[in-house]
Structure 1
Amino acid sequence: MEPKINVKNLAHFSWLSRWPQWTGYAAAIWSLLYGLLGLYWLLGGTGFPFGKNDLRGQMMGSFLSNLNVDIGGKVIAIAGLVGTVVAFAMVSTWGRRIPSVILLSFAWIKSVTLVLIVPDSRIVQNFAYLFLLHFDLIDWRVVNQVFCIVGGFIWGASGLAYFRLTRDACGNCGRKGVSEGSSAKSVAQWGKWFTYLAVIMAMPYGIVRWAWALSIPLGTNSSTIVGNEDSVISEAILGGLCIGGGILTLGLIQRWGEIFPRWCLFLAGKQIPIWIVVVPATLISAIITLTGLKLSPQFIYMMVNGTITIENWGGFVPFLSWLPWGISLGIATLAYYLRRRGRCKHCGKL
């Protein structure tokens, strides 16, 4: 027998746990704001972040480096207006007149576009530079990309909530009737292998950067990189972020990824809240995936035409592991979530 949930207690859940109820409205507000911004650019406003106004776009792997304001402004304005209507349709009774496949398709396409198509490698570049206390490269174009990624996650969440609603499933956990999905044993099995793959894919970039920090000319003959005292710390930190991230990824299948270890002092022995792991891991997998998606075609082309050689491959080839790294990390994070989510506090299903 399924345990009953006291409806009165739902009011005491945090606003975050009630995300299926408000993400649709958040998606509508986001779309309206960005649509108005597109209209502003179309009418001659300054700050259009793509095309000829973005001098670093092509170098950073932007898919929109050739987009002009006449087309881009119209697309953004129309997509914003349509997105506002679609978002309200997903949370309103009148939206039931529209086939759900249309609303869902729009939501998923918008989410993928905002997270993986609009941003480029400047996202991960500036994230890494934060650890070097280097903020000079953060400009309006980077802020715009961050804003789009936020919008993409909002649209993804609203689409997921609507999809669950159309299935008469719990908006928070997605379960309906008798518990569905893979068994814990099956999840642990495939989650383990994707975790190992993510760890392996994180290593190439980190190994090359640590080699440079140690003055080992691995894949480069540039004196400005190897043997330069000013770059030792930065190369060590950049390499450490990848290798350290790979090691932390093992926590997705280890006990210390679920229970705070002894060195955590007063937290030692306590269970790690699932969202402390899932949220950052999901975000990192997204920015790694989009970076690999943007740079891999460019670097493969450079390998084919001979621009990348045995003398300079270290600055390019390690990025080819980023796309499989990001995807495998995302799948490993999903497995961690499915394995640990337990009984839903909203519907009571296990």
Structure 2
Amino acid sequence: MESKMVIRQSIGFPRLVKWPRRVGYAAALWSLIFGALGLYWVLGGDGFPFGENDPRGQMMGSYLANLSVHVGGTMIALTGFLGIFAALAMVRKWNQKRLYFLLLFYAWVMCAILLFIIPDSRILQNVAYLFMFYFDLIDWIVIHQVFCMIGGVLWGTTALAYYRISRDACGNCGRAGEGASIISASKWGKVFTYCAVLTALPYGIVRFAWAIGIPLGTENIAIIGDFSGEAILGGLCFGGAILTLALIQKWGEVFPRWCLFIAGKRIPIWLVVIPATSVSVIIFLTGLKVSPQVVMMIINGEITMKNWGEMVPTLSWLPWGLSLGIATIAYYLRRRSRCKHCGKF
């Protein structure tokens, strides 16, 4: 009965079942735009978002703060135009193993570069500032990073679809046989969910302390007592921790009573998985960029017992993003029902 209800909820999006065959075309179109931008910059166009055109790059943890327009533009143009052919080739199944592994490797490398190498901590910074209705830091560089992350998602889903199709699995659910054990996913999912909850708290605790005037881990009086700003930043962490518990609680599967006219109805999986996955990627990405800087500051003596609260709590972001991502996978495996495309459970 439960599986039938989930199937009815999914029928409202019939075109989505064809995404494994269509996402490659989307990746090819994105690659065309990406390559055209690289060529434009190589030919002297304005707006190259790295190197000397990005004065905040070093501070925000950019790996490409020293990239020149000639090297960077050429690499972007080549990878973009090559990506057009690679993406189109991944729309169909190939029997040649070498070509299969080469295409799959290219797609996953593109996904990793676009999601975790090109963007920096400005993504999380601006997401947090959106809750304060502060938009002044959104510039072309941030827009370009968002564009690259969209490309990363397209290349990741293209690689996933190509992998599934090539092994004769269902393109929509990935099942080639029986699905993963729900009991197993519940066990390890709880462990990573609690890890995500705990690692979300350190930054929030410090920010809440500053909001109420407690100089926890800092001597910088200028940042103490800004209740609205610090409370929002701290509240995002605590709110995220509470929402993370939905991955293992009943109210993460069924709308609670206070949801009025939708109370008691099952929560669509995508309504939880998409936001949780997006947040985990952004937090992990930021931790990846910030953590090396913080470690070096500790080694160099720039961070001491007098100012540890300003940067040390960000060290929890890397494990926070990772554990939240794994917990989200467990939630998906535990809740998914019979696939309406292949019929496997």
TM range (shorter): over 0.9
1:40 — aligned with what? Answer: 40
Contact 1:188–1:339 (Cα < 8 Å) also in 2? yes
1:1-350 pair list within 5 angstroms: 13-92=13-92, 96=95, 99-176=99-176, 178-181=177-180, 183-227=181-225, 231-350=226-345
Code of the residue aligned with 2:328 in structure 1: it is T
1:3 — aligned with what? Answer: none
The 3 A distance-change label for structure 1 pair 11 and 198 is: closer
Contact 1:38–1:73 (Cα < 8 Å) also in 2? yes
Please report the TM-score for the alignment, with normalisation by the length of structure 2: 0.95
Identity %: 62
Does 307-316 or 123-132 show the bigger shift? 307-316
The alignment partner of 1:99 has SS state of helix
CA distance in 1, matches of 2:59, 2:11: 50
Deviation at 1:215, TM superposition (A): 0.3
The 3 A distance-change label for structure 1 pair 209 and 13 is: closer
Deviation at 1:223, TM superposition (A): 1.3
Map Cα deviations across residues 13-57 of structure 1 (whole Å, 9 max, x no partner): 533332212110000000111001000001100000001100000
Contact 1:89–1:96 (Cα < 8 Å) also in 2? no
Code of the residue aligned with 1:57 in structure 2: it is G
CA distance in 1, matches of 2:286, 2:103: 28
Q: Which runs of 4+ in 1 moved over 4 A?
A: 10-13, 95-98
Contact 1:107–1:158 (Cα < 8 Å) also in 2? yes
CA distance in 1, matches of 2:159, 2:37: 23
CA distance in 2, matches of 1:89, 1:259: 41
Please report the TM-score for the alignment, with normalisation by the length of structure 1: 0.94
The 3 A distance-change label for structure 1 pair 127 and 25 is: same
The 3 A distance-change label for structure 1 pair 11 and 243 is: closer
Contact 2:298–2:304 (Cα < 8 Å) also in 1? yes
CA distance in 1, matches of 2:237, 2:11: 41
CA distance in 2, matches of 1:334, 1:12: 24
Aligned residues: 336
Deviation at 1:306, TM superposition (A): 0.3
Query: What CA RMSD, in Å, does the superposition of the two structures yield over aligned residues?
Result: 1.5
The alignment partner of 1:17 has SS state of helix
CA distance in 2, matches of 1:11, 1:312: 54
Q: Which runs of 5+ in 1 are unaligned?
A: 1-9
Deviation at 1:12, TM superposition (A): 7.9
Code of the residue aligned with 1:82 in structure 2: it is L
Code of the residue aligned with 1:308 in structure 2: it is I
Deviation at 1:232, TM superposition (A): 1.4
Contact 1:259–1:268 (Cα < 8 Å) also in 2? yes
